[in-house]
Chain A
Amino acid sequence: MAQRSHSDRRELIREHAFSAAGLTAAIALVATIVLFFVQLFVTSRASRTAFGLSFLWRSEWNPVTEQFAALPMVVGTLATGFGALLISTPFALGIAIFLADYAGKKVAEPIKYLIGLLGGLPSVIFGLWGLFVLVPLVSKFEVWFGNLVGSEALVASGTTGVGLLAAILLLAIMILPFSSSLILESLLVVPAELKEGALALGATKWDTIQSIELPYVRKSTVGALVLSLGRALGETMAVTMVIGNGMKMPRTLFDPGNTLASAIANQFLEATSPLYVASLIELALILFVIAIIINIAARVILRRGVQQ
């Protein structure tokens, strides 16, 4: 017994294979990000040599004259993303607070289930619903609003319903399950003693939420919202189906427009010239970089929020 027992060679080989497999998969995951960047960077070369950095701030996108620049899409992306975030955040907070502090288990569990359901619906289904249900409603609203303010220009700019506004509303619905469940998660880790302490001092429920809970989850809520923004900025199919594929710089929310994602989805299969294709790939590159930055930033904020 006291001598070193003979180790089974096969056992050791299996051990090495196991750690090699884990390391390979881990490296593959990291390499994927690099691979994406390099691939998009290389294949968008034609566009980068033709337009250089001015691709980012010029506003002409014209397949006929082969002039391409990203600004209208960048504006469209930011407008729809922030617009959706602005509309959905109060509701997301409301839902999360309701589930964390007001609803009993019997009410909260089914609602969480429904949130999961809504969040699991494919983008294209939202697009379908948006196109045939939401867009006609937006169209009616546009006509009514145009007449209300008596703006010929507004009415003329489009009353079809497709455009930035429809995209914003649809996006607001789509990120709601995501942001509300993230905020809920952070609300649930607020220590009960803190809340009970405040309640024992005679604070109302809302006082407690306002003065104890919300400050406690401030950082993680910001992280959750940044993550949701990332989702909204990259959301493709639903936006593609309701935004109207407008190539000009949008002037009002009623105008048709494009986001980076929707421009690619709408135009890639029609792009015939190499420069057109490369320009669309460069849009993808921009979107990729934005998405990576936003996601990493959000994770860092969320992690700090948890540590604090």
Chain B
Amino acid sequence: MEESLIALETQKINAWFGKDQVLFEVSVRIPRQRVTAIMGPSGCGKTTFVRTLNGLHLMTPGARSSGTILLEGVDTSTMDVVDVRKHIGMVFQRPNPFPTMTVYENVLAGYRLTGQRLSREQADEIVEKTLTKVGLWGEVQEKLFKAGTSLSGGQQQRLCIARTIAMEPAVVLFDEPTSALDPKSTAIIEDLLSTLKADYTILFVTHGLQQAARISDYVAFFMMGELVEFGETKRVFVGPQDKRTEDYLSGKYG
């Protein structure tokens, strides 16, 4: 792969919670404007891995990590963590719109929380553009000034995606964003990914093999805190090179 096609690269990431090491020497190069699925059995470190990327794992008391993360070739440890997070957005497992904000305010939450002022016109434009992008504009146009939490679960999750991409990040991390949703809402979000990857580099944590196969261009397979295999999705699913991947794909780990 050519350098210019790499959006994000990690070199020998280790992570610990207290004395327990949960990530071991994870080195991976994430291609630009593609969906990369991060998969593996539960407890394999996939969520921790994406949280190290935007420094959110440090929110857990006793957590620490080592290694290098290169965002567009720049070592993120030389950057203000706040700037890192502006470039690497994140969508969480459970929809979590801010309960004190309206739908409209939720879309602009990132600007407000980082103290960036917007004119009325700019704000209106961002809200409409972003909600349209996540396919929510038509559904919530009449509810813009109702509480964000008044929407359905699937709509809330798309609102959270809107909130994230409103900040125009380069990379968006999805941490099992459909695991709390019904199949229909899940399908809508999966469809959304194919349009979003035109603009963003996407990392999508999932423990569902089917889902990884459906949505991703590349897949990184984790087990026991190690990156076991990385490659194009088709290639990995058809001809895994590592025995452990093969076993997992054939259902030996349940």
CA distance A51 to B52 in the complex (A): 65
> Is A148 on the interface with B (CB-CB < 8 A)?
no
CA distance A5 to B74 in the complex (A): 12
Question: A4's contact among B80, B115, B170, by CB below 8 Å, is which?
Answer: B80
Given contacts A1-B87, A1-B170, contact A7 B80 (CB under 8 A): yes
> Is B73 on the interface with A (CB-CB < 8 A)?
yes
Closest B residue to A12 by CB, please name it: B80
Residue pair B115, A2 in contact (C-beta under 8 Å): no
> Is B78 on the interface with A (CB-CB < 8 A)?
yes
Q: Mark B96-121, 1 if CB is under 8 A from A, else 0.
A: 00000000000000000001000000
Chain B nearest CB: distance from A212 CB in Å?
A: 33
- Cβ–Cβ < 8 Å partners of B20 in chain A: none
> Is B2 on the interface with A (CB-CB < 8 A)?
no
Closest B residue to A10 by CB, please name it: B115
Q: How many residues of A contact B (CB 8 A)?
A: 8
Residue pair A8, B78 in contact (C-beta under 8 Å): no
Given contacts A8-B115, A11-B115, contact A1 B80 (CB under 8 A): no
Residue pair A5, B115 in contact (C-beta under 8 Å): no
> Is A49 on the interface with B (CB-CB < 8 A)?
no
> Is B72 on the interface with A (CB-CB < 8 A)?
yes
Chain B nearest CB: distance from A148 CB in Å?
A: 65
Q: Mark B207-236, 1 if CB is under 8 A from A, else 0.
A: 000000000000000000000000000000
Chain A nearest CB: distance from B75 CB in Å?
A: 10
Residue pair B80, A2 in contact (C-beta under 8 Å): no
Closest B residue to A3 by CB, please name it: B74
Chain A nearest CB: distance from B71 CB in Å?
A: 7
Chain B nearest CB: distance from A3 CB in Å?
A: 7
Closest B residue to A5 by CB, please name it: B83
CA distance A49 to B129 in the complex (A): 79
CA distance A101 to B214 in the complex (A): 53
Chain B nearest CB: distance from A16 CB in Å?
A: 14
- In A7-29, the 8 Å CB interface with B consists of 7-8, 11
CA distance A4 to B79 in the complex (A): 6
- Cβ–Cβ < 8 Å partners of B86 in chain A: 5
- Cβ–Cβ < 8 Å partners of A3 in chain B: 74
CA distance A3 to B78 in the complex (A): 10
Residue pair A2, B74 in contact (C-beta under 8 Å): yes
Closest B residue to A8 by CB, please name it: B115
- In B63-99, the 8 Å CB interface with A consists of 71-74, 78-80, 82-83, 86-87
Residue pair B78, A2 in contact (C-beta under 8 Å): no
Residue pair B72, A4 in contact (C-beta under 8 Å): no
CA distance A3 to B79 in the complex (A): 8
Residue pair A2, B71 in contact (C-beta under 8 Å): yes
- Cβ–Cβ < 8 Å partners of A5 in chain B: 79-80, 83, 86
Closest A residue to B170 by CB, please name it: A1
CA distance A11 to B117 in the complex (A): 13
- In B29-77, the 8 Å CB interface with A consists of 71-74
CA distance A72 to B115 in the complex (A): 63
Closest A residue to B74 by CB, please name it: A2
Residue pair B72, A1 in contact (C-beta under 8 Å): yes
Closest A residue to B79 by CB, please name it: A4
Closest A residue to B72 by CB, please name it: A2
CA distance A213 to B199 in the complex (A): 59
- Cβ–Cβ < 8 Å partners of A1 in chain B: 72, 87, 170
Chain B nearest CB: distance from A19 CB in Å?
A: 15
- Cβ–Cβ < 8 Å partners of B71 in chain A: 2
Chain B nearest CB: distance from A165 CB in Å?
A: 52
Most B CB contacts (10 A, CB to CB) among A2, A3, A7, A8 go to: A2
CA distance A8 to B74 in the complex (A): 21
Chain A nearest CB: distance from B74 CB in Å?
A: 5
CA distance A11 to B83 in the complex (A): 13
Q: Mark B111-138, 1 if CB is under 8 A from A, else 0.
A: 0000100000000000000000000000
- Cβ–Cβ < 8 Å partners of B170 in chain A: 1
- Cβ–Cβ < 8 Å partners of B115 in chain A: 8, 11
- Cβ–Cβ < 8 Å partners of B87 in chain A: 1
- Cβ–Cβ < 8 Å partners of B79 in chain A: 4-5
For the complex of A and B, 3 pairs with smallest distance between CB atoms: A2-B72, A2-B74, A5-B83
User: Interface of A with B (CB < 8 Å)?
Assistant: 1-5, 7-8, 11
User: Interface of B with A (CB < 8 Å)?
Assistant: 71-74, 78-80, 82-83, 86-87, 115, 170
22 A-B residue pairs with CB within 8 Å: A1-B72, A1-B87, A1-B170, A2-B71, A2-B72, A2-B73, A2-B74, A3-B74, A4-B74, A4-B78, A4-B79, A4-B80, A4-B83, A5-B79, A5-B80, A5-B83, A5-B86, A7-B80, A7-B82, A7-B83, A8-B115, A11-B115
**Other A-B pairs, 12, CB within 8 Å; known A5-B83, A7-B82:** A1-B87, A1-B170, A2-B72, A2-B73, A2-B74, A4-B78, A4-B79, A4-B80, A4-B83, A5-B80, A7-B80, A8-B115
